[in-house]
Amino acid sequence: MKPFIGYYGFWVILTYISAASAVIGMGYALAGNIRYALICLMVSGLCDTLDGKVASLKDRTDREKKYGIEIDNLADVISFGALPAVIGFAVMQSCPVPFCWFNIIILAVYVLAALIRLAYFGVIEVELLGKNEKRTYYEGMPVTIVSLIIPVVYSLCNLLEVAFSDVYFIMIALIAVAFVAKVRIPKIGGKIKIALCLFGLPVIFYIITAGM
């Protein structure tokens, strides 16, 4: 009998790291260090991008596959739902009106949109698993992409000397709509995923060095 419930194999470790990185990012955001919070967001994005490929290396049982779907969605809620919202609250501290209810509503709607999208995604994934079919497209924008969009926008704001707080909540509102919009987005291949990861490296370097 196993001493603990759940699974702890190599095929699920990246998902755990993604969630842990997001929690650390929340800590940085609450401490006012938005740059490091964004780096944690990108680390979570990298882990989420690669975890599917790593999981495919193991011949998993149906229960392990279903667990992978569930734990990945739960980790994504933390990494790409809650963390950007907490970053938003940190960004609000630099706004002219520190406690703006309109911005808070936007953050709440964003998290709700991410939650709805991930729940719907999980349902479809389980259905495809039961039919032994593979996904060829997504409905709505995948939540993982925020791990690149938000840091890139932050970098552009810094380069153009535009206040990040001036664009953050507009960006988050548009992303929330994209999460639940009923549009088909082709599933990207491994080469494109690698290209996106490589594109993120200079962004991370810039965010680190921008505050020095």
Q: Which domain holds residue 65?
A: 10-210
Model confidence over 158-198: pLDDT tens digits?
Answer: 999 999 998 999 999 999 999 999 988 888 776 777 787 77
For the chain, what is the mean pLDDT?
Answer: 90
Q: How many domains does the chain have?
A: 1
Alpha helix (H) ranges present in the chain? 10-30, 34-55, 62-76, 83-92, 101-131, 146-160, 164-180, 190-210
Do the domain assignments include residue 2? Answer: no
Could you give the CA distance from residue 70 to residue 50 in angstroms, rounded to a whole number? 17
Do the domain assignments include residue 1? Answer: no
pLDDT of residue 3: 81
Could you give the CA distance from residue 44 to residue 50 in angstroms, rounded to a whole number? 10
Task: Quote the pTM value.
Answer: 0.92
- Fill in the amino acid letter for 183: V
Do the domain assignments include residue 172? Answer: yes
- What region does 168 belong to: left with phi over 0, alpha with psi -120 to 50, or beta? alpha
* pLDDT band at 139; cut points 50, 70, 90: confident
What CATH number is associated with residue 161? 1.20.120
